[in-house]
Amino acid sequence: MSLRGFHIVFVTVSTFLFLFLAVWGFGLAPENAGRVARVMGIIGVVGLLVMPVYGVYFYRKAKKLTL
């Protein structure tokens, strides 16, 4: 697997992990987690929005490279 392919897989897996973090933070966290769970959920949502944008940016830039 090339470095480009690994990077695309890494971005995809990271996006799914951010999705899990958001679901856990807002829905599956224990009741006594409170503020920490909410902050983790917010981090998950932000990552869920940013990672696909970065993935598309990287993919477009990587297509131009000839390594």
pLDDT in tens, 1-55: 788 889 999 999 999 999 999 999 998 888 888 899 999 999 999 999 999 999 9
pLDDT value at residue 24? 93
Q: Where are the domains of the chain?
A: 3-62
| pTM, rounded to two decimals | 0.83
Say whether pLDDT at 56 is over 80. yes
Say whether pLDDT at 67 is over 70. no
Are 19 and 48 in contact by the 8 Å Cβ rule? The answer is yes
